[in-house]
Amino acid sequence: MPRMTFGQGEPPWGSGGSHTPWNQGQPGNQGRPGHQGPGQGPDSGPTPDWAALAEASAARTRRKRLLMIGGSVLATLAIGAAVAVAIVSTDNDGKDDASPTALPTASDLPSDTTQPVPSFAATTPPPPPDPKDFISSAAKDKAPISPGSLFPGSQLTMGTEVYKKGATGSTTNCASVARGDLRQVLSGNGCTRMMRATYVKGKNAVTIGVALFDTEAKARKAKEQADKGNLLSLSGAGVSGFCNTVVCRTTANSYGRYAYFTVAGWTSGKNVTAKDSTVYRTGDDVAEFAFRQIIRRGEAQASAAAEQPL
């Protein structure tokens, strides 16, 4: 009885009587028993190549996927191109036909692109006011003045010398406190005010008189013409009269619109001689103090003017 065989993956039966190890010496297909193998009909053909079929199906799937991706890319590119064309078309509306991407040539560019450096005019602060300007004319010399501000305190110290202050006074009738030719000099040059003060040390006394004029020129002229007259001494406040009927030492100076005069002598009533150095010193110290006070007056007004906003 022939052996029963199954078609489980074995090679197909050959039509020309090919043999397998199982049917050696047996006839070919014509002599196979009429038994149905698993999954085969009585007349089924050769077994399908399932691996090949699966590979072919996968290849078809890949081709479809690539076609879909390629189509999407092409559609995206087409939409982008259409948008770009629309933008360029909009930018060219109302403009000339020049290419929007055209760049200037080298000849169109400026040869010197350096930005100019800003320049500023040189400025310097104005010079400080000259103190003398404020004491050279009545028009500018506006600060208040009085015997108290011109001769402050109860005593005067000059170096090692200390002088006690006596009486002070002020008048607009300058000639009334002068004698001799000085009376006419003061009136003739337009003296507007005379302020006096007396200082004493021991038996030496001196009266200082500061006269105010409208201009520096008038004050200078009064000083130059005062060689034949003198100032009346001022007694009081503990100082007895002096230099009324005896020889005393006198001086005359000017600075700015101010002329200042001194008369110095002995309170004992004796005449002053060239040997009386203490009398000379007393007169010179008080005259120097008056000069410094006039300068300080100018400095104070100049300083105040410098602090004013421009």
Q: Identify whether 65 is part of a domain.
A: no
Is the Cβ–Cβ distance between 242 and 203 less than 8 Å? no
Indicate the number of domains in the chain: 1
Q: What is the DSSP string of 252-281?
A: EEEETTEEEEEEEEETT-PPP-TT-HHHHH
- What pLDDT is recorded for position 127? 78
Asked if the model's pLDDT at residue 126 lies above 60, the reply is yes
The percentage of residues in the chain with a pLDDT greater than 70, rounded to a whole number, is 61
DSSP secondary-structure letter at 135?
G
Q: Identify whether 145 is part of a domain.
A: yes
Residue 57 CA, distance from chain mean position: 85
User: Helices H, strands E: what count in the chain?
Assistant: 5, 8
Which residue in the block uniquely carries the two structure tokens 């004698």? 179
Q: Identify whether 87 is part of a domain.
A: no
The tokens describing 72, both together, are 């999407």
The tokens describing 77, both together, are 């590119």
Encode pLDDT of 223-245 as tens digits. 999 988 899 999 999 999 999 99
The tokens describing 69, both together, are 């991706």
Q: Identify whether 281 is part of a domain.
A: yes
Q: Identify whether 245 is part of a domain.
A: yes
Encode pLDDT of 52-105 as tens digits. 666 777 777 776 666 666 666 555 666 666 555 555 555 555 555 545 566 666
Asked if the model's pLDDT at residue 202 lies above 60, the reply is yes
Q: Which of 204, 221, 179, 192 is nearest to 284 (CA)?
A: 204
DSSP H or E run through 157: strand 155-158
Whether the model clears a pTM of 0.85, i.e. scores above it, the answer is no
**Alpha carbon distance 242, 205 (integer Å):** 8
Q: Identify whether 232 is part of a domain.
A: yes
Longest Cα–Cα distance of the chain, Å, equals 194
CATH number of the domain bearing residue 146: 3.40.1000
Q: Identify whether 106 is part of a domain.
A: no
**Alpha carbon distance 198, 169 (integer Å):** 9
Q: How many CA atoms lie within 13 A of 22 on its CB side?
A: 10
Domain extent at residue 154:
138-290
Q: Identify whether 229 is part of a domain.
A: yes
Q: With bands split at pLDDT 50, 70 and 90, how would you rate the model's confidence at 22?
A: very low
